[in-house]
Structure 1
Amino acid sequence: MFKDALKGIRIADFSWVWAGPYATSLLSYMGAEVIKIESHGRIDQTRKGSIMNGDNFSGYDSSPTFNNANLNKQGVTVDITKPEGAALAKKIVEKCDVVVANMRPGKMAKLGLGYEDLKAVKPDIIMLESSGFGATGPYKGFAGFAPIFASFGGLAYLTGYEDGTPNVMSGVQDMRAGTISAFILIAALLHKKKTGEGQYIDLSSSECLSVLVGPELMEYTMNGRSPFRHGNEDAIMAPHNCYRTKGDDKWVSIAVATDEEWKALCNVMENPDWAMDEKYGDAYSRWQNRKELDAHMSEWTKDYTHYEVMKMLQEAGVAAMPSFSAEEILTDAHTKDRELFTTVNYPALGDQTVMKPAWRFSETPARIRKAGPLLGEDNDDVFGNLLGMPKEEIERLKEAEVIW
């Protein structure tokens, strides 16, 4: 018998793309019930793209990306731009503990679904609105996706090679914002449990990225220097890079933090003459000569496979790991042993491999219960069973395209 940590928590999820859906997925893994609400003019964008089918749109239920971002959820379709649709959405909210949305600030309020509107029907509701730049400030209405968040947050400027352009990045920023969203929603739920109070949460996805460049911000505020891009190099460690190995486009990452680790690395390499040079005698000297050191390291790693380098160095206590391709992540012995992946059946796609949550609870294991919802898959269940609406009323709303 499974024990779910968030059993009994229900979430009305108006979010789309990655940040919001990822947050609610994390909570669903822990047992929260999530109802994804899609509107006629706001079908989740990830439904429109299919890695499997390339650029060929083959229907809203054929996207592995959508399925991966919306596991465990129920799905309903309500045209919230219509008064009856907004009223129906409020009825769903009445049955929920949490509301999550990631439209531009003010959009939910214009639809009659802002925090004050929802608080009127559910006084203890917790509402999180995630946007690119938050609900206040001169940029509050700006459009934004993951690369824009990274640019504002300072991460893009600092990512890339010294002689190259900033890296706009993609995807991971949304997951960062989603992870923080899940964390603060749990805090809000704890507060509600103690006090009975709900609350409104204003989250800036861009600011979620700024916290990742804390050392660089300190460097400027304390020393007046604005750090620049430095590729795979570290501000302290050397060697610290990704080195080519034997095989077609195979690489291994190596990071040496201490003099003891450097000595262990030298022993594995059988103490070559170049490694005995005093220019590599201590951490600071190695860092000053890091580019020449990287060239020597590359000469050594090219004669071994990435797994061989990992095994030799890890046995000596030196941090090293192959730079895995997607295939290698799926087939590696470690990920198999931890059962990191499972299979779900998404009706339009068949069996699809998805990643399980990365944590392991001893008493309340996180789990994947079902695939993501087909478009409107749970209309009858949510409106009929949860809200107790008669079939005739549901049919009338379908004919009026309030439910569609």
Structure 2
Amino acid sequence: MDEKQALEDLKIADFSWYIAGPSISMWLAHHGAQVIRIESITKPDELRGIEPFKDGIAGINRSGCYANYNSNKYGMALNLNHPKGVDVAKRIIKWADIVVENFTPGTMKRKWGLGYEEIKKFKPDIIMVSSSPLGQTGPEAQQAGFGLELVSRGGFTHFVGWPDQDVVGVGYPYTDTITPPIAVIAILAALDYRQRTGKGQYIDLSQHEVAVQHLTPAILEFTVNGREGQRCGNRHPYAAPHGVYRCAGEDRWCAISVFNDSEWEALCKVMGRNDLVIDPRFSTFLSRKRNEEELDRIIENWTMNLMAEELMNRLQEAGISAGVVQNGKDLIEDPQLEHRHHFWYLKHPEMGICAYDGPPFKLSETPGRLTMPAPCLGEHTEYVCTKILGMSDEEFIELLTDGVFE
């Protein structure tokens, strides 16, 4: 493929870690941006220690989670606590258009003198993104945190579970994945501003504030109607039936949603239970809601004898919203994802060939693509120093000997 990519001339210095920060540079890297991913051998990104590990073998370079958020990047080892390490970091920033970091607010400035006000003195048009849990200002800005905590603070945990039981929780740092696209939008806006004015700027991104926007209906319900939203399991206030139903096989399920009487009639026809259409317990939406327990029992007694894929296809053909609850194997084998070339298979130095999530959108003239697996720790340090930064071999060896690249 020889198409020029949309962000091919963009250069990014990525000082971030875990998911929320690295995902930002990854989105840009998938469309041609050149990214230097900076870590320290003495304190690597802790995401490298998160399962799953390829073939079940733990290792600093074997985390599938780390790999999936760091494709298309050069990996550089750099000890920022070494005085010469900060000097090298400044050279990378001078090379870069964008700096990405997601440490506790103030860390870049306080520990290494690399805050926005400091770096713009030697790189006036730099764009710097600081993605933090609660933003850079305010009485609680210094509170460190992770996505799983922000899921609760953002209100999501309150809504996940059954109405008569304790919260279940999301089980995933949801804010880590919804925040990066917003950061990318902000970066593109800042790039447009710089193109028009020649000036860079600082982007202060609050992951908490991104999360809150995704619960607008609950906020509106409270501010307008004074009602606090509650957990409702798999049900929906304006649909019945609405749930996830057991199917044939081990741990196989299918989600079914019926929002009006015509869909209900179609479901009854597929079930071979036209008698339910005129049954006074289920003939109207309100009656179905009143008898939802019995309704779910009747439906699951039917679905448990069918394969989930067969059930989904039959219902969809009848105009009923239905979907298999897919596991990892299902996703890899999903024909729609395969057609869209969602997964890219790249050969990693230690893990071998692995699947990576690709861009979820297609640009017709400048399609994104994955060309490099996630880097091993410090894999490209010499290349970055000598080929990108222009260091001589002698200077590189001297810094290496001094422990700058640890």
Question: What range is the shorter-chain TM-score in?
Answer: over 0.9
CA RMSD across the alignment: 1.8
- Partners of 2:13 and 2:350 lie apart in 1 by 25
- CA drift of 1:56 comes to 6.3
Whether the 8 Å CA contact 2:77–2:381 is kept in 1: the answer is yes
Change (3 A) 1:54 1:167: farther
Task: Tell me what 2:317 maps to.
Answer: 315
Task: Tell me what 1:49 maps to.
Answer: 50
- Partners of 2:262 and 2:76 lie apart in 1 by 59
Change (3 A) 1:291 1:308: same
- CA drift of 1:209 comes to 1.6
Task: Tell me what 1:82 maps to.
Answer: 82
Change (3 A) 1:235 1:186: farther
Code of the aligned partner of 2:65: T
- Does 33-42 or 94-103 show the bigger shift? 33-42
- Partners of 1:287 and 1:44 lie apart in 2 by 49
The secondary structure found in structure 2 opposite 1:265 is helix
Whether the 8 Å CA contact 1:130–1:202 is kept in 2: the answer is yes
Whether the 8 Å CA contact 1:242–1:251 is kept in 2: the answer is yes
Task: Tell me what 1:122 maps to.
Answer: 123
Task: Tell me what 2:355 maps to.
Answer: 353
Whether the 8 Å CA contact 2:20–2:177 is kept in 1: the answer is yes
Whether the 8 Å CA contact 1:18–1:175 is kept in 2: the answer is yes
Deviation per CA, 1:84-106: give whole Å up to 9, x if none: 21121111111111111000000
Code of the aligned partner of 2:7: L
The secondary structure found in structure 1 opposite 2:375 is coil
Unaligned stretches of 5+ residues in structure 1: none
Whether the 8 Å CA contact 1:49–1:55 is kept in 2: the answer is no
Code of the aligned partner of 1:30: H
Whether the 8 Å CA contact 2:246–2:253 is kept in 1: the answer is yes
The secondary structure found in structure 1 opposite 2:322 is strand
Whether the 8 Å CA contact 1:75–1:375 is kept in 2: the answer is yes
Task: Tell me what 2:155 maps to.
Answer: 154
The secondary structure found in structure 2 opposite 1:327 is helix
Whether the 8 Å CA contact 1:25–1:71 is kept in 2: the answer is yes
Change (3 A) 1:189 1:164: farther
Change (3 A) 1:120 1:42: farther
- Does 283-292 or 91-100 show the bigger shift? 283-292
Code of the aligned partner of 1:73: K
The secondary structure found in structure 2 opposite 1:19 is coil
Alignment of structure 1 residues 4-403 onto 2, 5 Å? 4-52=5-53, 57-58=58-59, 60-110=60-110, 111-168=112-169, 169-403=171-405
- Partners of 1:33 and 1:53 lie apart in 2 by 27
Unaligned stretches of 5+ residues in structure 2: none
Change (3 A) 1:261 1:119: same
Whether the 8 Å CA contact 2:245–2:255 is kept in 1: the answer is yes
Whether the 8 Å CA contact 2:41–2:378 is kept in 1: the answer is no
Whether the 8 Å CA contact 1:238–1:287 is kept in 2: the answer is yes
Code of the aligned partner of 2:38: I
- CA drift of 1:112 comes to 0.5
Whether the 8 Å CA contact 2:77–2:377 is kept in 1: the answer is yes
Code of the aligned partner of 2:403: E
- Partners of 1:341 and 1:125 lie apart in 2 by 33
- Does 378-387 or 142-151 show the bigger shift? 378-387
**TM-score when normalising by structure 1:** 0.94
Query: Number of aligned pairs?
Result: 403
Code of the aligned partner of 2:175: Q
Whether the 8 Å CA contact 1:126–1:198 is kept in 2: the answer is yes
Deviation per CA, 1:221-252: give whole Å up to 9, x if none: 11222111111111212221111011111100
